[in-house]
Amino acid sequence: MNTQVKTAASSSPVPDYIRASKGIWSWLTTTDHKRIGLMYFVVMISLFVAAMGMAVTFRLELFSPGEQLFESDIYNRLLTLHGVVMIFLFIIPGIPAVFGNFFLPIMIGAKDVVFPRLNLLSWYCFVVGALIALFSVTLGGIDTGWTFYVPYSQKTDLNVLVPILAAFIIGWSSILTGINFIATTHRMRVKGMGFFDMPLFVWSLYATGWIQILATPVVGITLLLLVFEKFVGVAIFDPAAGGDPILFEHLFWIYSHPAVYVMILPAMGVVSEIIPTFARRTIFGYKTIAYSSIAIAGIGSLVWAHHMFTSGMVDEARIVFSFLTFFVAVPSGVKVFNWLATLYKGSIELRSPMMWCLMFIFLFSIGGLTGLFNASLSIDIHLHDTSWVPAHFHYTIFGGAVVILFAACHYWWPKIFGRMVNERIAIGTCIGFFIGFNLTYMPLFFAGTAGMPRRYADYLPEYTIYHRLSTIGAVILATSILIMIINLVRSISKGKIAPANPWQGATLEWTVPSPPPTLNFTGEPDTSRGAYEYPVEVSDG
């Protein structure tokens, strides 16, 4: 059935990319896209664990009303750092930096990305940015929230400019990655692979690349304007000097809403890989899924002001932004429909990557549907700045992009490290995650509709039950994630040796040895099958 299985690790004459050269220096100077992807992963997952620790800490503070562990000042700083690290240092690089770097070239039959040195530079930008962000903690941290809203961020004595510099530098890393992915997709496809033969994960990275290069400069310029205002004294955002604080909100969200799609589009791409593999069916509606990625990237760039319905914008503008926001749900809904249609009559195998994907569809749908409430003008006035909002965006970002990052770990781990992950523990942590996740965030929807504001260290006794449940949930959630990470790491030395194609996947990465050799392919890539033609199609039974 699959002729390439012959080339599995042990019989490969070429050393794999991990054993190709030794020593930390060979990693720090590597231009191999696979090593760069792994280096991103190590830094990002460490930062994720740290930011998760912060969240559990401030959730413990919220276990009871009144002051428990620390005063509200510390709460605000922990909350801000949690948001800044999770967004700028973890999920914006996210799936593209790790799995995009590792798999995009292999999936299109290339030996590397077009600009391998730029790729390494993007990692260094990321690491330098991360170090600066962490350094800002030693200066006392900041308490503006992750959005750096003016005029407070201009007036506070805390060092807002240091984390802003960090975000600026990290923006470069994102832009460099975007340039690389777009150019690689155009220039490096193996002979005979047209755009519509590409795996859907590649399509999603391609769409994401355009958002990265078009939207990121806007936030870069905005942050520079903040610096100018503070040091040079030109009036831009400060109303006292004749500036306009609402301008900051517009500029910030012109980037930060599309950034949501930088997080979620690649995740949708991964789902479009995993579902057909474990349903043993060719994906339903390939072209529609490919086009919907582009549609989401396009329409998603026009909806930013839905974050500002309460800022005093004129009604005409609010109605237009509200309408466009409902509209962007259409291409996302199209994808969910196609995934469900693929599952329908598929012969589904409930392995851990698939479990994470099914959980994604459930959690992300809750995130998406609650988003429609926020998109409705009148309802949003009530929900704005309540704990409904963090509940909604954790369901989309965490239940969406992060859950799929975990799915991708379980799906591609055997390829990356050549070892299988312990399935029983993997499924156990997946279930623990599901329980902990819903217990953490579901109560926040109810607290929010009852009027609990977000970003507060304290609350009235009537909200106690919601916060208790949420804190217990956070502990279960964090414990499951830690066990999941230990299980993954342990498999690198203890796991069973993985064959080249453990899941019978149909895309090109499954035709090369596990782990792949430095230049990915030992011979010519096998493109005799289209990206999604499954060798065995079990359906219509």
Which residues would be at the binding site for ligand HEM (CB under 6 A)? 52, 55-56, 59, 79-80, 82-83, 86-87, 90-91, 145-146, 390, 394, 397-398, 402, 440, 454-456, 474, 477-478
**Residue 487 beta carbon to Cu ion: minimum distance, rounded to whole angstroms:** 34
Between residues 65 and 502, which has the closer beta carbon with respect to ligand HEM? 65
Of Cu ion, ligand HEM, none, which one does residue 257 interact with (CB within 5 to 8 Å by kind)? Cu ion
For 102-124, give one letter per residue: b (16+ CB within 10 A) or e: bbbbbbbbbbbbbbbebbbebbe
Of ligand HEM, Cu ion, none, which one does residue 428 interact with (CB within 5 to 8 Å by kind)? none
Between residues 82 and 351, which has the closer beta carbon with respect to ligand HEM? 82
- Of 478, 452, 476, 475, give the one whose Cα is nearest residue 65: 452
Between residues 257 and 467, which has the closer beta carbon with respect to Cu ion? 257
Stretch that binds Cu ion, among 41-49, 170-178, 256-264, 271-279 (CB under 5 A): 256-264
Question: Is position 257 an interface residue for Cu ion (rule: CB under 5 A)?
Answer: yes
Between residues 198 and 305, which has the closer beta carbon with respect to Cu ion? 305
Assess contact for 126 and 177: CB atoms under 8 A. Answer: no
Of ligand HEM, Cu ion, none, which one does residue 440 interact with (CB within 5 to 8 Å by kind)? ligand HEM
Between the alpha carbon of residue 110 and those of residues 18, 190, 299, the distances in Å are 18, 6, 31
Between residues 285 and 390, which has the closer beta carbon with respect to Cu ion? 390
Between residues 91 and 202, which has the closer beta carbon with respect to ligand HEM? 91
Between residues 77 and 257, which has the closer beta carbon with respect to Cu ion? 257
**Residue 52 beta carbon to ligand HEM: minimum distance, rounded to whole angstroms:** 4
Of Cu ion, ligand HEM, none, which one does residue 111 interact with (CB within 5 to 8 Å by kind)? none
Please give the biggest Cα pair distance in the chain. 72
**Residue 234: left if φ>0, alpha if ψ -120 to 50, beta else—which one?**
beta
Residue nearest to Cu ion (CB): 257
**Residue 381 beta carbon to ligand HEM: minimum distance, rounded to whole angstroms:** 19
**Residue 224 beta carbon to ligand HEM: minimum distance, rounded to whole angstroms:** 21
- Of 50, 119, 45, 126, give the one whose Cα is nearest residue 88: 126
Structure tokens at 503: 């899941």
Tell me the C-alpha distance between 481 and 149, whole Å.
32
Question: How is residue 66 annotated by DSSP?
Answer: S
**Residue 222 beta carbon to ligand HEM: minimum distance, rounded to whole angstroms:** 17
**Residue 443 beta carbon to ligand HEM: minimum distance, rounded to whole angstroms:** 10
Binding mask 298-317 for Cu ion (x = CB under 5 A): --------------------
Tell me the C-alpha distance between 169 and 263, whole Å.
18
**Residue 229 beta carbon to Cu ion: minimum distance, rounded to whole angstroms:** 25
Of ligand HEM, Cu ion, none, which one does residue 171 interact with (CB within 5 to 8 Å by kind)? none
Total number of residues shown for the chain: 541
Q: Is the dihedral of CA 101, 107, 111, 114 positive or negative?
A: negative
Of Cu ion, ligand HEM, none, which one does residue 278 interact with (CB within 5 to 8 Å by kind)? none
Instruction: List phi, psi (to 5°) of 67.
Output: -85, 125
**Residue 393 beta carbon to Cu ion: minimum distance, rounded to whole angstroms:** 9
Between residues 114 and 270, which has the closer beta carbon with respect to ligand HEM? 270
- Of 477, 403, 481, give the one whose Cα is nearest residue 440: 477
Assess contact for 492 and 521: CB atoms under 8 A. Answer: no
Residue nearest to ligand HEM (CB): 83
Tell me the C-alpha distance between 367 and 363, whole Å.
6
Between residues 95 and 420, which has the closer beta carbon with respect to ligand HEM? 95
Number of residues that bind Cu ion (CB under 5 A): 1
- Of 405, 500, 490, 399, give the one whose Cα is nearest residue 445: 399
Assess contact for 90 and 44: CB atoms under 8 A. Answer: yes
**Residue 365 beta carbon to Cu ion: minimum distance, rounded to whole angstroms:** 17
**Residue 86 beta carbon to ligand HEM: minimum distance, rounded to whole angstroms:** 4
What does R_g of the chain's alpha carbons equal in angstroms? 23
Tell me the C-alpha distance between 183 and 198, whole Å.
15
Of Cu ion, ligand HEM, none, which one does residue 154 interact with (CB within 5 to 8 Å by kind)? none
3-state secondary structure of 237: coil
Between residues 283 and 389, which has the closer beta carbon with respect to ligand HEM? 389
Which positions lie near Cu ion, rule CB under 5 A? 257
